[in-house]
Amino acid sequence: MKSNSHMPANLLHHAFWISLATLSATATFAEEIKSPVKATKSEIAAFVAADLDKSITLTAEEFKAFVDKMAEDGETKALTIRLMGLYNYAFKKIDKNIDGVVTPQELRSANDDYKRTAGN
């Protein structure tokens, strides 16, 4: 992906929302309608702040900053990751395609998987 270092912050926010709203290509249109992506303002702010190279992906280092920001905001999974030092473990679990970066879709998918298995 081409660097977006010159992209204005408002365009980066829009690009992030578009990226986050894009669901798996294997999902049907009906499934997409029934499963809207819901990112909180806190999640978006943490992601944008952590994404230092403005690539709309997080490297392992950027992911750590994302988790720390979410933990500061009181997000329980992030607090657990930070407390137990499980940054690398969490990153590897979320990076499903093993490309060395975490996308908004991978973060959303991991969060949805967690909610399903935790019964939330």
pLDDT tens column, 97-114: 999 999 988 988 887 777
Out of 6-20, 38-52, 59-73, 102-116, pick the least confident: 6-20
pLDDT tens column, 88-97: 999 999 999 9
Reference 35, options 53, 21, 55; nearest CA is 21
Q: What is the total residue count of the chain? A: 120
Give whichever of 6-10, 28-32, 48-52 has the largest mean pLDDT: 48-52
Tokens 């709203």 belong to: 21
Instruction: Flag whether the pTM goes above 0.85.
Output: no
- Asked if residue 46 lies in contact with residue 70, where contact means CB atoms within 8 angstroms, the answer is yes
Tokens 């988790």 belong to: 67
Mean pLDDT for 12-21 is 48
Checking if the pLDDT of 10 tops 60, the result is: no
Name the DSSP letter for residue 58: B
Residue with the bigger pLDDT between 34 and 66: it is: 66
Q: What is the pLDDT of residue 11?
A: 52
d(CA 85, CA 31): 36
- Asked if residue 104 lies in contact with residue 19, where contact means CB atoms within 8 angstroms, the answer is yes
